Amino acid sequence: MANLTAEDVKAEVKAWLEENWDPERNVAEWWDILARSGYAAPTFPEECWGKGWTRDLAMAVNETLAEHGAIGPPAGLGYLLAAPTIVAHGNERQKQEDLLRILNGQDAWCQLFSEPGAGSDLASLSTRAVKDGDEWIITGQKVWTSTAQLTNLGMLLARTDPSLPKHKGITYFKFNMTQPGVEVRPLKEMTGRALFNEVFIDAARVHDDDIIGGVNNGWAAANTTLMAERAGLGTGGTGAAGNAFPGPRAGQLGDRVGDYVGKIRTGGTGGGGLFAAPRLIKLAQELGRDDDPNVRQKLAKLYTLQQLGRFSALRAKTPSQRTGAEPNIAKLMMSDLLRLQREVGNEIIGANGMIMGTEGPGSGVVQEVTLFSPGPSIYGGTDQVQRNIIGERVLGLPKEPGPAKDTPFSELLISR
């Protein structure tokens, strides 16, 4: 293991795929085989369905899946956010059962964090969880909940003890989205779609067994989720040959897995990632815009930024080089990259940028990026909040003024 190289991993995974990849299987069967092999989440420890490998080796797994034309692990926030949170804070049952159901796509999770009065200041959340025997009764409202309409479970943050300071009385629950008392209302965005929703919760229930990380210890677990979100938004990843959406509600588990080859869900980042610069260069060539010095300059800048993002992600994997700010920086770079893609993309396609649909130049990708580009600078904590975190936690700058940290939540103005 100590000397395992990316080449070793590629050879191992290639041999395994030759035995196991079969496009005629259904999506659920393939994901179950992939999850139990350890290749769905190779960076997780072996006792958590992983291989205990570095991110470099995990990228080699993804590259091999792509080369072989096999689809990768389930898309969505269960895999991206809930899974690493369970690895870090879950109990044995959660690691054995809940985690497997994420990796093999049986469950789909959404993130029930933000509320109308608690976004950047997430610890001000006021959704209540009141103990009732070995259950908790949940009442409150969440907002901007991406994919809530497609998911059967949620990562729910709720206040379990208002007499404690605001960061301390919060608990992290696995929450059943399909029970009575949960109403999901779509919010239409300027992209024309309703990616996110409002979620109204009225006396819904959660069992003690579904607390992740302990009562009143939800802030620590929430931070793991947020760090995974920020790191996941950064550059440096490579995708498999396609993926599908998990869980019973999306209705894809019984489909032929081979039909998802070539289908990449971007999670809403509108075509970011390492393919953006090559795709825009090709578009500029097709439209004869590749000799415009402005376009060339911006494409070079986009390519350079993407490579810098990739190198930062690689550096973050070297413990001696780590500053602690890597996930925040990765997130800031993603916001910049999307804005730059928007700018150069529109410069290439010109007035065609006003036409929606997949018919025009670039098949609508530039329009898609344009309309979605404000998103990444908001979700996962806004760009301003990332800068605050870097300033305070990494550079040691003074904290923002505010009430003393040990003030009980119930005595803060926001709780009234």
Ligand X SMILES: Cc1cc2nc3c(=O)[nH]c(=O)nc-3n(C[C@H](O)[C@H](O)[C@H](O)COP(=O)(O)OP(=O)(O)OC[C@H]3O[C@@H](n4cnc5c(N)ncnc54)[C@H](O)[C@@H]3O)c2cc1C
Q: Annotated active-site positions, please? A: 229
Structure tokens at 64: 């091999």
Which one of residues 37, 388, 410, 415 is an interface residue with ligand X (CB under 6 A)?
388
For tokens 């926001």, name the residue.
414
Number of residues near ligand X (by CB under 6 A): 20
Stretches 171-179, 209-217, 332-340, 377-385: which one binds ligand X (CB under 6 A)?
Answer: 377-385
Residue keyed to tokens 């494409």: 299
What is the C-alpha separation between 341 and 6, in angstroms, rounded? Answer: 31
191 sits near ligand X (criterion: CB under 6 A):
no
366 vs 77: CA distance, rounded Å: 25
| Binding flag, residue 345, ligand X (CB under 6 A) | no
Which listed range, 168-176, 213-221, 305-313, 383-391, lies at the site for ligand X (CB under 6 A)? 383-391
Compute the least distance from the CB of residue 21 to ligand X, in Å: 32
Q: Which stretch binds ligand X (CB under 6 A): 291-299, 302-310, 331-339, 378-386?
A: 378-386
Residues 146-185 that bind ligand X (CB under 6 A): 146
Does 141 sit near ligand X (CB under 6 A)? no
Strand partners, 115: 118
The separation between CA 194 and the C-alpha centre of its own chain, rounded to angstroms, equals 17
- The residue type of 119 is G
Cα dihedral 398/399/403/408 (nearest 10): -130
Find tokens 């890597």 and name the residue: 326
Binding flag, residue 328, ligand X (CB under 6 A): no
The yes or no reply on residue 227 touching ligand X (CB under 6 A) is no
In 29-148, DSSP assigns E strands to: 109-112, 128-132, 135-142
Q: Is 385 in the site for ligand X (CB under 6 A)?
A: yes
User: For residue 64, what are the contacts with CB-CB under 8 A and spacing of at least 6?
Assistant: 9, 10, 13, 14, 17
Q: Decide whether 54 or 223 has the Cβ nearer to ligand X.
A: 223
Q: Does 378 bind ligand X (CB under 6 A)?
A: yes
Q: Does 382 bind ligand X (CB under 6 A)?
A: yes
Answer for which of 384, 392, 397, 399 binds ligand X (CB under 6 A) is: 384
Q: What is the dihedral of CA 313, 73, 228, 191, to 10 degrees?
A: 90
Q: Cβ closer to ligand X: 352 or 388? A: 388
| Region 307-326 residues binding ligand X, contact defined as CB under 6 A | none
Give CA–CA dist 171/309, Å, rounded. Answer: 34
Quote the CA–CA distance of 108 and 105 in Å, as a whole number.
7
Q: Which of 120, 178, 304, 321 binds ligand X (CB under 6 A)?
A: 120
One-letter amino acid for residue 306 of the chain: Q
Please identify, using beta-carbon distances, which residue of 260 and 379 lies nearer to ligand X: 379
Subset of 240-299 contacting ligand X (CB under 6 A): 268
- CA–CA gap between residue 284 and residue 341 (Å, rounded): 13
Question: How many other C-beta atoms are found inside a 10 Å radius of the C-beta of residue 259?
Answer: 15
Q: What distance in Å separates the CA atoms of residue 248 and residue 151, rounded to the nearest whole number?
A: 8
Which letter does DSSP use for residue 75 in this model? -
* Position among 38, 90, 105, 119 found at the interface with ligand X (CB under 6 A): 119
Least CB distance from residue 145 to ligand X, whole Å? 5
Please identify which residue in 62, 145, 341, 367 interacts with ligand X, judged by CB under 6 A.
145
- As measured in angstroms, the least distance from the Cβ of 133 to ligand X is 28
CA 242/CA 251 separation, integer angstroms: 17
The reply on whether position 381 binds ligand X by CB under 6 A is yes
Contact pick of 79, 260, 379, 409 for ligand X (by CB under 6 A): 379
Q: Which stretch binds ligand X (CB under 6 A): 44-52, 112-120, 234-242, 406-414?
A: 112-120
Give me the count of residues in the chain: 416
- 116 vs 324, beta carbon nearer ligand X: 116
**Amino acid making up residue 4:** L
Record the tokens describing residue 399, joined without a space.
């904290």
Which residues would be at the binding site for ligand X (CB under 6 A)?
Answer: 110-111, 113-114, 119-120, 144-146, 196, 268, 375, 378-379, 381-382, 384-385, 388, 400
